[in-house]
A and B are shown apart, each in its own frame.
Chain A
Amino acid sequence: MSTWIDACAPDDIEEEDVIRFDHGGVTLAIYRLEDDRFFATAGLCTHEAVHLSNGLVMGKVIECPKHNGRFDIPTGQAKGAPACINLKTYPVKVEAGRVFVDLG
């Protein structure tokens, strides 16, 4: 069952960047890519619980700020040590000038 949550305005996130969004005890990372697509993943690195919102977005990749573990943003796939476990991803939609995340 979908549970769409109003997370932010599109302009709250710069192009090729990420912000942290907390809701109901869940921490998410919401991304805006260079081509203006939005994505959401679990907010903490699967290697060690570090907030990805402090990391670096490079194209479709997010790099963890602590150990430089990298994940593919659209799929959440870990791209090599020390990131070995994939990130959970969440559906995102932009409607009426707002970014919504489906926490399911």
Chain B
Amino acid sequence: MSQSSTITPPQTIQRRDYSLVGEEARRAEERGLASAEWYAAPIPRKQLKELMKRKDGPAIRDTALWIGALILFGGAGAYFWGHWLAVPCFIIYGVLYGSASDSRWHECGHGTAFKTRWMNDAVYNLACFMIMREPTVWRWSHTRHHTDTIIVGRDPEISVKRPPDILGLLLNLFAIKTSWFALGKLLLHARGRLNAEEATFIPEMERHKVYRTARIYLALLLAVAVLSIGLHSWLPAMLIGLPTLYGGWLTIVFGVTQHAGLSEDVLDHRLNSRTVYMNPISRFLYWNMNYHVEHHMFPMVPYHALPALHEAIKGECPPAYPSLLAAYREIIPAVLRQVRDPGYHVVRVLPASATVPPATQPPVDRLADAA
């Protein structure tokens, strides 16, 4: 795209350490990148307050549609089980279960989707189970992702690292790698333990919830497996559990657009996040997370107000990508190039009229600098 440019790679390129307990974690703190002050577009307080206002109506409507569609297509899939008509039913059911749950856990985790807290919590827990993301772990992991977005050594949710793991990305089209790791973590947590990275962002007082939920998740999955074996049928697993895998592809298709191929270690979401225009069905499935720059800059704005926020601040941001296809025309070549050249990334160009980022922002986007 015209708003992108490239940087010539250095002669020696090293793989960065993305763990939260390694050398890069220490360096990020030293360089003032941890819990730093981020750029925020200027917006009048009155207007922002209006955008932040919580409502139950939009999320009740969208959740009723979502649950209704799950029941409709899951029921139809069960009814037509053994007939070819079950296939399209389960394709749709799978996307609603394994992919639409991604934005539901996310929005409800922020507590912004509904005005009423218990509604956020109920949908959050349901969606977390559907996408196999342990609620307490992911609440804290996502908190860190918002504190230190795409800061190497700090952000636990960098999905496309450098050099990218192409095989892993392809496997995750069916949530294979993520689910494999999720299962391993469930087993670890059910034994009352966290790994070293999780211990950096989950406070002591919250850990008992992690262990309890892991045991509940394993019991539910085991119950589905026992039922399937007892009935000599895949049907129970096709309805609960397996849709995380066979319906998870849209999570990756949408999710990769958020940050892949963009700058690391910058304190400006306009440079490390994408806003992509999508059609109404995609926006329903994704709950407007395609407005990702806006979401990161003002995470207290509910999903239903993100299009209005976009209009309010778009003069401060690089142009939005006109479509998913346009975004992937940039992402695929960038990610493929990063396989052999991890220093490469897309540079988002700010409009001439945009507010200057904070002077504290470190001019760091080269791997050579980190070496």
Q: Are B140 and A55 in contact (CB under 8 A)?
A: no
Known A-B contacts A58-B54, A67-B299, A70-B111; the reply to A82 vs B49 at CB < 8 A is: no
CA A17 to CA B46, docked complex, whole Å: 10
Contacts of A68 in B (CB 8 A): 110-112, 299-300
B4-49 contacts to A, CB under 8 A, are: 35, 45-46, 49
A1-27 contacts to B, CB under 8 A, are: 14, 17
Interface size class of A (residues with CB under 8 A): 10 to 19
CB-CB nearest in chain B for A61: B117
How many residues on chain B are close to A (CB under 8 Å)? 23
B146 at the interface (CB under 8 A from A): yes
Q: Are B147 and A48 in contact (CB under 8 A)?
A: yes
Q: Are B111 and A84 in contact (CB under 8 A)?
A: no
Contacts of A84 in B (CB 8 A): 203, 205-206
Contacts of A58 in B (CB 8 A): 54, 115
Among the interface residues A17, A49, A56, A58, which one has the most CB atoms of the partner chain B within 10 A?
Answer: A56
Q: Are A82 and B143 in contact (CB under 8 A)?
A: yes
A91 at the interface (CB under 8 A from B): no
A65 at the interface (CB under 8 A from B): yes
What 1/0 flags go to A48-87 for Cβ under 8 Å of B? 1100000110100001111110100000000001101000
CA A93 to CA B115, docked complex, whole Å: 31
CA A28 to CA B111, docked complex, whole Å: 25
Contacts of B115 in A (CB 8 A): 58
CB-CB nearest in chain A for B38: A66
Contacts of B147 in A (CB 8 A): 48, 66-67
Q: Are B299 and A66 in contact (CB under 8 A)?
A: yes
CB-CB nearest in chain A for B121: A80
CA A55 to CA B45, docked complex, whole Å: 10
Q: Are A56 and B52 in contact (CB under 8 A)?
A: yes
Tell me how far the C-beta of B53 lies from the nearest C-beta in chain A, rounded to whole angstroms.
Answer: 8
B277 at the interface (CB under 8 A from A): no
How many A-B pairs with Cβ below 8 Å?
A: 45
B139 at the interface (CB under 8 A from A): yes
CA A56 to CA B143, docked complex, whole Å: 18
B217 at the interface (CB under 8 A from A): no
Tell me how far the C-beta of A43 lies from the nearest C-beta in chain B, rounded to whole angstroms.
Answer: 15
B298 at the interface (CB under 8 A from A): yes
Tell me how far the C-beta of B194 lies from the nearest C-beta in chain A, rounded to whole angstroms.
Answer: 15
CA A48 to CA B201, docked complex, whole Å: 12
Q: Are A82 and B300 in contact (CB under 8 A)?
A: no
Q: Are B300 and A65 in contact (CB under 8 A)?
A: yes
B264-313 contacts to A, CB under 8 A, are: 298-300
Tell me how far the C-beta of B20 lies from the nearest C-beta in chain A, rounded to whole angstroms.
Answer: 16
Q: Are B35 and A48 in contact (CB under 8 A)?
A: yes
A36-55 contacts to B, CB under 8 A, are: 47-49, 55
CA A65 to CA B296, docked complex, whole Å: 11
Among the interface residues B111, B136, B205, B206, which one has the most CB atoms of the partner chain A within 10 A?
Answer: B111
What 1/0 flags go to B41-78 for Cβ under 8 Å of A? 00001100100111000000000000000000000000
Contacts of A49 in B (CB 8 A): 35
Among the interface residues B53, B298, B300, which one has the most CB atoms of the partner chain A within 10 A?
Answer: B300
Tell me how far the C-beta of B55 lies from the nearest C-beta in chain A, rounded to whole angstroms.
Answer: 11
CA A14 to CA B50, docked complex, whole Å: 13
Q: Are A82 and B139 in contact (CB under 8 A)?
A: yes
Contacts of A47 in B (CB 8 A): 143
Q: Are B206 and A65 in contact (CB under 8 A)?
A: no
Contacts of A70 in B (CB 8 A): 111
Q: Are A81 and B49 in contact (CB under 8 A)?
A: no
11 residue pairs bridging A and B, Cβ less than 8 Å apart: A48-B35, A56-B49, A56-B52, A66-B146, A66-B147, A66-B299, A68-B299, A68-B300, A81-B143, A82-B139, A82-B143
Interface residues of A, Cβ cutoff 8 Å to B: 14, 17, 47-49, 55-56, 58, 63-68, 70, 81-82, 84
Q: List 9 A-B pairs, minimum CB-CB distance, nearest first.
A: A56-B52, A82-B143, A68-B111, A67-B143, A68-B110, A65-B300, A48-B35, A56-B300, A81-B139
Query: Given A65-B299, A84-B205, list of 7 further CB < 8 A pairs?
Result: A17-B49, A48-B35, A55-B300, A63-B111, A64-B300, A67-B146, A68-B300
